[in-house]
Structure 1
């Protein structure tokens, strides 16, 4: 066992780190800020990840580590196992400290700049019809399911279908609740209380579905590109790196600086756009567009693109379990998920997720995409909880290289759902 490794650390050394951490937690003296948060999220997150990846049934059918990390950490909060100071510090680090944004910025910038430019443009033109196909089938499925069990089609679409497909909480359920409140003349808080359980439950189902689709891809290899979105022979979305163009440790700093600056640009442009038009589109969407444009016009030297791609690989390899730990604690309310577990509600949420998968697999195939990759990105990454859900779904499916398309679904696709809700409310309510 001494040769067994967790986080790349030999087991005796890892257990020593874990022991120090547990003592600090029990004594309630774990340092505040990023030191305590990183230590807790990385060490405990890695342990839960190992448990999930080695637990029968869970590792085979439910995505393994990511499921256990997210819901295991959420359970630690729900059952009051963790001191309040630890929970508060992780919440602050994830939200106020911006660790989630920092992680997503690295993934968006590095993954897009590391793509094959021609294939990126080609895939994007076919991607939005795939999203629309998934949304359409998902809303049809939930409407018919509600009608079959005595619930109105409009109510099923409004309180289950739209929030699940809406791109998460901050960029989805919250603005959708305001759209509904304005159209129906009721308090946004009352609407939001009905939307949140659907978002949480749909997110959980999407994560599980990500693991199941990965399993399906192994059983039916003709349905998957194993991380490639388009059926383009031996080519893939990643640029071929010249072995003579070696990177050194300072290039990680270049990657950090560029990723953070693109994120800042997204915030600046989004603020200006909102002030001029009154339309609030999430900063991630503008960041995606700006990075894609920079890639399309060769704005950055190739070495800088590779530096961003290398930084993205570092972040994905070392901090994914820690991020999932933070998602479980700061963004996953296990109580809301449990309260929503009525048979009809579960069925309707399942129908939305199933419709998203079926619609995107069919339309995606017509658009020249691999069905499983289309379902993961244009389908499940519409049905999950925004950026946090994207990480969880793609990790469960072992296809993190699809993050740029996942983010298009969560951000631009989520904005499409808000616009759709704006038009549907006066027509059907």
Structure 2
């Protein structure tokens, strides 16, 4: 027996395991421990470098540092949210990545240099739209073109029904809570569904100022808090629906809007098979940017918001088969890269530069809170009910409607991230941009007639 043991102890198969030490196998194991997408040693080194630059008083504003810094903070806060019991199931990662940085800015817990670099980079590069362009083009090119147009036409029905129902219920609730029907409708309910800040709250406040002959800055400060809190409510409810979908899978298509669709971005599906190399991926990325630039040109010529113009251009490209299957497959890879690697860093940048914590807190009065939650919940519930009646997945229809109450493009990213359904971005843009523009236009016409 001892002889057998001795023989076994010197088997060639066991020799490598005896020779294995910390380097390199142990180090490789550390490299496979991830904070978001960052290997643990890289994450630690990035944190030390950021701290060193801040301590030296010379935080460079170049793109390399901005990317590393956004990734470090974004994935840190997202990882905290992902590890919290219960809350992780309702979108805590997206909430933490967005709103903790916002609070840290307000309470001066982030170094001033970090805040300055983040704000400058975000506002100067406008890389939110790089993200949206990549997500929209990738998701549209991955859809089944035979059902694409049906989905775009169908989504307007639950969106319109939800808008009307949310307006009625929200106004009724606010009135019953003593806020007054006029104030509730025009300064709480409508801002929630106006399409965010840049495309919603700002033009709405300008229109209000002209019609009511009041200061636009004061009116903007009034309508902004419901926009912020409405978006937060939508994020939480969308995350909750993601949890419900896991428990009740018959209610969800896991990102597909209708039964029978094949918009799951599966590169193995017949329509986008074929050899793909890095040139197809790069070509797809440039194609997405060119379509966005074409959207900007359409915006200047016809007044259509650039993301909406780009969305319709991408649909036309898909329906006319204007790009090859290899390029469609490359667009899928671009989509996956941005949804995996860029989402949480982007949310951190949004939290620091575009999410004022004090405005959010200003809405935290009980009557306001109940009214806002009632409005968003009604918008989503109506979307789910009408969507199911139209043979759409109710959870997906509700999540698209939730984006109508989001903080514009930034809200769409946070809501769809919390819901784990980034493939719905094209429909979310319809809800946000078109839904918001229609809401603002109709409301300003009504106010002008009754003022």
Specify the TM-score bucket, using the shorter chain as the normaliser: over 0.9
Query: Which residue matches 1:257?
Result: 286
Query: Which residue matches 2:63?
Result: 34
User: How many angstroms apart in 2 are the aligned matches of 1:336 and 1:283?
Assistant: 27
Aligned runs of 1:20-59 on 2, under 5 Å? 20-59=49-88
User: How many angstroms apart in 1 are the aligned matches of 2:253 and 2:450?
Assistant: 40
Question: Do 1:364 and 1:371's aligned partners in 2 also have CA atoms closer than 8 Å?
Answer: yes
Query: Which residue matches 1:96?
Result: 124
Structure 2, unaligned runs of 5 or more: 1-28
Choose which of 164, 173, 176 in structure 2 pairs with 1:136: 164
Structure 1, unaligned runs of 5 or more: 275-280
Query: Which residue matches 1:245?
Result: 274
TM-score by length of 1: 0.93
Query: Which residue matches 2:203?
Result: 175
Choose which of 181, 184, 197 in structure 2 pairs with 1:153: 181
User: How many angstroms apart in 2 are the aligned matches of 1:23 and 1:55?
Assistant: 30
Question: Is 2:381 the counterpart of 1:352?
Answer: no
Aligned runs of 1:73-92 on 2, under 5 Å? 73-92=101-120
Choose which of 374, 379, 396 in structure 1 pairs with 2:397: 374
Q: CA deviation at 1:9?
A: 4.1
Query: Which residue matches 2:446?
Result: 424
Query: Which residue matches 1:278?
Result: none
Query: Which residue matches 2:429?
Result: 407
Choose which of 299, 313, 329 in structure 1 pairs with 2:322: 299
Deviations 1:98-150 (A, max 9, x none): 21111111111111112111111111111111110111111011111122122
Question: Is 2:187 the counterpart of 1:165?
Answer: no
Matched length:
420
Aligned runs of 1:181-200 on 2, under 5 Å? 181-200=209-228
Range with greater deviation from structure 2 (1-10 or 77-86): 1-10
User: How many angstroms apart in 2 are the aligned matches of 1:272 and 1:100?
Assistant: 23
Question: Do 2:174 and 2:368's aligned partners in 1 also have CA atoms closer than 8 Å?
Answer: no
- Secondary structure of the structure 2 residue equivalent to 1:383: coil
Range with greater deviation from structure 2 (218-227 or 167-176): 218-227
Query: Which residue matches 1:363?
Result: 386
Question: Do 2:143 and 2:262's aligned partners in 1 also have CA atoms closer than 8 Å?
Answer: no
User: How many angstroms apart in 1 are the aligned matches of 2:426 and 2:278?
Assistant: 25
Q: CA deviation at 1:8?
A: 4.0
Question: Is 2:416 the counterpart of 1:387?
Answer: no
Question: Do 1:137 and 1:358's aligned partners in 2 also have CA atoms closer than 8 Å?
Answer: no
Question: Do 1:37 and 1:90's aligned partners in 2 also have CA atoms closer than 8 Å?
Answer: yes
Range with greater deviation from structure 2 (198-207 or 62-71): 62-71
Please list every run of at least 4 consecutive aligned residues from structure 1 whose deviation after the TM superposition is greater than 6 angstroms.
Answer: none
Residues 191 and 244 (structure 1), Cα distance of their counterparts in 2 relative to 1, 3 Å cut: closer
Choose which of 11, 24, 45 in structure 2 pairs with 1:16: 45
Question: Is 2:340 the counterpart of 1:311?
Answer: no
Question: Do 2:273 and 2:326's aligned partners in 1 also have CA atoms closer than 8 Å?
Answer: no
Question: Is 2:130 the counterpart of 1:107?
Answer: no
TM-score by length of 2: 0.89
Question: Do 1:28 and 1:83's aligned partners in 2 also have CA atoms closer than 8 Å?
Answer: no
Deviations 1:41-61 (A, max 9, x none): 01121121111101123213x
Query: Which residue matches 2:24?
Result: none
User: How many angstroms apart in 1 are the aligned matches of 2:38 and 2:110?
Assistant: 25
Range with greater deviation from structure 2 (86-95 or 202-211): 86-95
